[in-house]
Structure 1
Amino acid sequence: MLTLAKFYCATIAVFSLSVLVYDQVTLATITLPLRTKKAMVVSAHPLASEAGISMLRKGGNAVDAAVATAFAISVVEPFAAGIGGGGFLLMRSEKTGEIKALDFRERAPLKATRNMYLDTQGKVRPNASTNGYLAVATPGVVAGLYEVHRRYGKLSWQEVVKPAITLAKDGFILSHEVSWRSVQSYANRKQAVLDNPVAKEIFTQNGEFYQPGDQLIQRDLADSLKRIAKNPQSFYTGSIAQTIASDMEKNGGLITLADLKAYKPIWRNPLCGNFREAKICSMPPPSSGGVHLLQILNIIGDTDFKSLGWHHPDALHLIAEAMKIAYADRSQYIGDSDFVEVPVQQLISPAYAKKRRQEINMEVAKPSSEIKPVDKETLNQLTKLSPNSPRFTSFITNGESLRTRLLNHLSVTKYLTQHESSETSHLTVVDEQRNAVSLTFSINLGFGSGVIIPKTGILLNNHMDDFTSAPGMADSYGVIGNDINAITPRKTPRSSMTPTIITENGRLRMAVGTPGGTAIITQIVQIVLNVLEYKMDIGAAISAPRIHHRWLPDELRVESWGFDAPTLQELRRRGHNIKETTPWGDANAIVVTEDGSLEGAADPRGEGSPRGF
């Protein structure tokens, strides 16, 4: 597996593909896929992938492997994801062809209030939603993993938790090829960790993070995992729950025993749509992932990218313009559908995509200031909701006034220049029967809130920051929010996580996902196109350089060294504000090839790897 240093310096290979007909040469490092006949696990860390594949070797199924891998990630990638966080899962049964979606995302505590992060002047208090106890939402990982295992697992619960217990108790050696994600998390979130005495004791030596080659042992976490293996409800009603609630009360946090006891994962209907011969399924709200993945692909429609050639300026221009439209709609309409009306079917309808496609000028990039979320009249034509519905009218009005404010609100500019998060973690599993799991989970920013509950080793999330603290203001990723995503007790904050499963002719074709903040969605779009349209193997599809546009700020992010000068020059000529940046994301995926074999790869931008047999 290739690290960042290798990604840019040690080995530079010419990315030559038979589909290239446009005159360009792109430099990139391509990770070679693993090919196996029977089963495969791919995750963001080799030890976690090994934990998952060990379950399959013991006769377990895709769910057993996914649960074991997720628990192991909670130990070996503590900066990215863990049992103090939440996430989403997609699973497919080969026998029935049915795809299910599980929401185990964190929820706002009962004591949470709409303006809890504002001062007396109505301004957002710095770091209040990101650092410390007040930033923590009620975790859902343990409940989610237990729920899917209880229904569909084959091995015992104790068996699937065991590898994580061993990794926490005996420790593991930090890789000498530490990924840029780890380095970024350490640099950006060091103070949050140092501010919590327990986190400081576990993750640092004399105030400095453990270094490559050091052994990280987490004995308190091992003890908590043992209790969870014995009784998963200990996290929500037992001794762990009591310890969490007590520490929250002492330190001004909001989570109580009532919050933990009330937490339940939610089975939701996946969002599915057609792209060419494929059926694409992903997460519905409160994730924005499925909606905007399908929306962007619908806008691209039947455009023949393959004839143009890979990364032709026409293709990149169309993708970028489609991204702007989708993220404009995201800013206004996506929230927790259990609390607000979300016009999902309208946003993913081919008719709506056709209308928005007609607005794209293939010669000129439209400024974001001229791209609006779908207007009220158009939604009225597509929706079954009455135009006079109070809830419907409310968020349309709020969204329009919000857009006007944010486009003229200079105080948010500083938030809009930040990089996308690379925390969060994804894992992909396909078993011998071709059952598949695609699972993304997170504690949000690196090391979450920075809070570890004493004597538990459990690092807690800061996903309260994914709510809108105040209309017109940005969260830590620079994402502007509105009232549809306002803080409400037991509400789930909006997410970008996009675990995805793709089928063709009723058979599994691919399972894929990635971390990366709001850039999760656009990464999946490009990986899907690389596999389905350009016929790349999955290693090349994941390694390929990426673009990202999220409407605001009005800049097209491209990975440095990933695009040739003539292509960037042509995009600039069309009006794109190009910003070359460091790489983002840490995708992984498994593809079923024409002969029925499995082909899997982990992103060279990270330190993950596939395991199979």
Structure 2
Amino acid sequence: MKKSKSLIILFIGVVSHFLFHSPLEAQTYGKNGMVVSDNVLASEVGIDILKKGGNAIDASIATAFALAVTHPEAGNIGGGGFIVLMKSDGKVTTFDFREKAPLGATPDLFQDVYGNLIVGSNHETIKAVGVPGTVAGLYLAHQEYGSLPWAELVQPAVALAENGFPMTWGLYQVALRMSELDDSFEFMKNYFQNGEGAVVQPGEIWKQPALGKTLSLIRDKGQDGFYKGEVAEEIEAYMKANGGIITKEDLEKYTAIEREPLKSRYKNFDIYTMPPPSSGGVALIEMMNLMELADLKKIEFNSTAYVHLVAEAMRRAFADRAEHLGDPDFNPDIPVDKLISKEFAKMRFDNIDLSKASLSDSSLYGQLYDGSSTTHFSVVDKDGNAVSMTYTLEHSYGVKMGSSKLGFIFNNEMGDFNPVAGLTNREGLIGSNPNLIAPEKRMLSSMTPTIVAKDDKPYLIIGSPGGRTIINTVFQTVLNVLEFDMRIDKAIEAMKIHHQWLPDEIRYERHLLSPDTREALEKMGHQLRAVNNLGVLMGITYDPRLKVYVGAADSASNDGAAVGY
């Protein structure tokens, strides 16, 4: 009888799997909720919280902490990010937990005695670490909108760290690279080892006891478990011992902020996205406004004319990004309303030449630094509460430093500030005032967590990692869904391009842009450069006919998964 009961349970599980995730499709279906993240274990943690009666914020908190264990490249408690929340009543808010410059930071922090940038200093040294914001941001979101106890949301991550999980092939490949680093990255050289000096092999259990202890303190003491007490003391001690400038005072003074979202309308859809210090929301809306002015019925998707138009929209949005955007608490006069207005888009659209490329002039504006070690996840619950969350360490595995007593990796977000005032060049430096270094200032970001609503209900929840490319991969995916009615997996996998004003070039995904199109674009004056991939998107859409949520994880993610129920 026991064997028969087990077979029945197994059968029910198999039927459920195939009901919600067909092996012939890259999409997952869920009537009661969905979590799409960069790691299947983290997605399952989020779904378990939803099944226990938690809401989308609860599931997001649990997923985020789980990713700090299972996706250390970007999942973090040592970095920062943004949340866009749409509640079931249609109200939308955002949380800004971007890292801050330490109190000891100065505008010339990364310059030599002659005022020149010390190459690499703003990304590869301990002074590149910004004051982390993730724990404070998740805690604030929970205090405002969570429903389950905080400890219940953090505990799954504690268990994953203490009990371990099977090493994946994706993590193993990284572990091999990290084990070959020079001795200045001792923390990362030992990070994936089993305690006996050997890298954990695929399928073997990888445990992180130090991280588990840190997470236990956060579980038991809330944000004070990170920003005060023994964790804060060890962060300060590590900084002092290695030449860093973050202190216990920096940690204790850090605050996350709830901000009003940016809102725009594209045809019959409402777009909600992140305001500054994210640059992503402003640029996304500006580009969507530009595309709304084009007659896309006459411009075939991915044709030469289409790629040219998209690139020119990107060029203009990134030029405006470089000139105007920064931390709004230090720049109260940022012209956000103007930049996202339909009138401004009309002026910008009118100077697009549909027959040739524009010229990006470095004597006027430039592009900003931004890293690529970011991760995004999307969540929706049975009541229609939706969360789009993107958080980051900046570069892959941040600054590759951390205390072995704490078990997490520090960010290198200070590299997102403009390092030399007044210096803008075609190679990518920018010196405009809004994003210069100042104590307690938040550095500008490209993260673009976004929720699109239809009839005041979540229709598309989307975001991506990718540094500066985030803005453009999210933009093109939103356009694919809203304008071309693509299903979410197709919209995510469709060919993407990237233009960031400077360097003046179109990056395109290798093998996905035809030779004829490339040749035609070059004749129009565009410079082209092939890259392997753009973005790692995690998205959810709502199918009103089936009345079901549909999720998809980008195939570029080694361990990503959409999990629904």
Fold match (TM-score > 0.5): yes
Instruction: Please tell me the residue identity of whatever aligns with 1:228.
Output: I
* 1:410-429 paired onto structure 2 within 5 Å: 421-429=371-379
Of the three residues 29, 33, 37, the one matched with 2:27 is: 33
Instruction: Report the counterpart of residue 217 of structure 2 in structure 1.
Output: 227
Of the three residues 32, 46, 56, the one matched with 2:40 is: 46
Gaps of 5+ in 1: 1-29, 370-402
Residues 40/198 of structure 1: CA separation in 2 closer, same or farther (3 Å cut): same
Structure showing greater relative contact order (alpha-carbon pairs closer than 8 Å, 6 or more residues apart): 1
Offset from partner CA, 1:490-530 (integer Å, 9 cap, x none): 00000000000111122221111000001101011110111
Q: Offset of 1:257 from its aligned partner?
A: 1.2
Of the three residues 341, 344, 363, the one matched with 1:404 is: 363
Offset from partner CA, 1:217-251 (integer Å, 9 cap, x none): 21000011011100021211222111111222222
Equivalent position SS for 2:315: helix
- The answer on whether the counterparts of 1:436 and 1:511 sit within 8 Å (CA) in structure 2 is yes
- The answer on whether the counterparts of 1:545 and 1:562 sit within 8 Å (CA) in structure 2 is yes
Gaps of 5+ in 2: 1-23
**2:104 corresponds to 1:111:** yes
Q: Offset of 1:253 from its aligned partner?
A: 1.2
Instruction: Report the counterpart of residue 124 of structure 1 in structure 2.
Output: 117
* 1:334-353 paired onto structure 2 within 5 Å: 334-340=325-331, 341-353=333-345
Instruction: Report the counterpart of residue 136 of structure 2 in structure 1.
Output: 143
Of the three residues 57, 63, 68, the one matched with 2:62 is: 68
- The answer on whether the counterparts of 1:189 and 1:447 sit within 8 Å (CA) in structure 2 is no
- CA distance in 2: counterparts of 1:339 and 1:307, whole angstroms: 44
Residues 330/185 of structure 1: CA separation in 2 closer, same or farther (3 Å cut): farther
Instruction: Report the counterpart of residue 528 of structure 1 in structure 2.
Output: 478
Offset from partner CA, 1:178-203 (integer Å, 9 cap, x none): 28xx86897599647x4243333223
Equivalent position SS for 2:252: helix
Equivalent position SS for 2:529: strand
Of the three residues 352, 358, 383, the one matched with 1:366 is: 358
- CA distance in 2: counterparts of 1:212 and 1:488, whole angstroms: 44
- The answer on whether the counterparts of 2:96 and 2:259 sit within 8 Å (CA) in structure 1 is yes
- CA distance in 2: counterparts of 1:525 and 1:601, whole angstroms: 17
Q: Offset of 1:404 from its aligned partner?
A: 1.9
* 1:384-403 paired onto structure 2 within 5 Å: 403=362
**2:559 corresponds to 1:600:** no
Of the three residues 547, 572, 587, the one matched with 2:522 is: 572
Q: Offset of 1:94 from its aligned partner?
A: 1.1
Instruction: Report the counterpart of residue 382 of structure 2 in structure 1.
Output: 432
Residues 255/486 of structure 1: CA separation in 2 closer, same or farther (3 Å cut): same
Instruction: Please tell me the residue identity of whatever aligns with 1:158.
Output: A
- CA distance in 2: counterparts of 1:280 and 1:36, whole angstroms: 23
Task: Using structure 2 for the length normalisation, give the TM-score.
Answer: 0.90
Q: Offset of 1:204 from its aligned partner?
A: 4.8
* 1:151-166 paired onto structure 2 within 5 Å: 151-166=144-159
Instruction: Report the counterpart of residue 296 of structure 1 in structure 2.
Output: 287
Instruction: Report the counterpart of residue 416 of structure 2 in structure 1.
Output: 466
- CA distance in 2: counterparts of 1:539 and 1:563, whole angstroms: 19
Instruction: Report the counterpart of residue 284 of structure 1 in structure 2.
Output: 275
Q: Offset of 1:556 from its aligned partner?
A: 0.6
Give the total of aligned pairs: 536
Residues 124/563 of structure 1: CA separation in 2 closer, same or farther (3 Å cut): same
- The answer on whether the counterparts of 1:200 and 1:207 sit within 8 Å (CA) in structure 2 is no
User: Which is worse superposed, 106-115 or 132-141?
Assistant: 132-141
- The answer on whether the counterparts of 1:185 and 1:447 sit within 8 Å (CA) in structure 2 is no
Equivalent position SS for 1:88: strand
Give identity over the alignment, percent. 39
Of the three residues 254, 267, 274, the one matched with 2:258 is: 267
Q: Offset of 1:158 from its aligned partner?
A: 1.0
Offset from partner CA, 1:556-587 (integer Å, 9 cap, x none): 11101112222222222222212121112111
**2:343 corresponds to 1:355:** no
**2:323 corresponds to 1:329:** no
**2:192 corresponds to 1:203:** yes
Q: Offset of 1:58 from its aligned partner?
A: 1.0
Equivalent position SS for 1:60: coil
Instruction: Report the counterpart of residue 216 of structure 1 in structure 2.
Output: 206
Instruction: Report the counterpart of residue 175 of structure 1 in structure 2.
Output: 168
Instruction: Please tell me the residue identity of whatever aligns with 2:548.
Output: S
Instruction: Report the counterpart of residue 445 of structure 2 in structure 1.
Output: 495
Q: Offset of 1:406 from its aligned partner?
A: 7.8
Instruction: Please tell me the residue identity of whatever aligns with 2:338.
Output: Q
Residues 474/186 of structure 1: CA separation in 2 closer, same or farther (3 Å cut): farther
Residues 534/183 of structure 1: CA separation in 2 closer, same or farther (3 Å cut): farther
Instruction: Report the counterpart of residue 396 of structure 1 in structure 2.
Output: none
Residues 432/355 of structure 1: CA separation in 2 closer, same or farther (3 Å cut): same
- CA distance in 1: counterparts of 2:365 and 2:339, whole angstroms: 23
- The answer on whether the counterparts of 2:293 and 2:346 sit within 8 Å (CA) in structure 1 is no
Instruction: Please tell me the residue identity of whatever aligns with 2:216.
Output: K
Instruction: Please tell me the residue identity of whatever aligns with 2:59.
Output: A
Offset from partner CA, 1:341-399 (integer Å, 9 cap, x none): 21101111111110110101111111223xxxxxxxxxxxxxxxxxxxxxxxxxxxxxx
- CA distance in 2: counterparts of 1:36 and 1:306, whole angstroms: 33
- The answer on whether the counterparts of 1:31 and 1:603 sit within 8 Å (CA) in structure 2 is no
Offset from partner CA, 1:146-173 (integer Å, 9 cap, x none): 1111221111111111111111112222
- CA distance in 1: counterparts of 2:193 and 2:174, whole angstroms: 16
Instruction: Report the counterpart of residue 372 of structure 1 in structure 2.
Output: none
- CA distance in 2: counterparts of 1:86 and 1:189, whole angstroms: 26
Instruction: Report the counterpart of residue 407 of structure 2 in structure 1.
Output: 457
- CA distance in 1: counterparts of 2:124 and 2:109, whole angstroms: 14
Task: Using structure 1 for the length normalisation, give the TM-score.
Answer: 0.83
Q: Offset of 1:207 from its aligned partner?
A: 8.5
**2:45 corresponds to 1:56:** no
- CA distance in 2: counterparts of 1:187 and 1:327, whole angstroms: 33
- CA distance in 1: counterparts of 2:117 and 2:429, whole angstroms: 14
- CA distance in 2: counterparts of 1:314 and 1:481, whole angstroms: 33
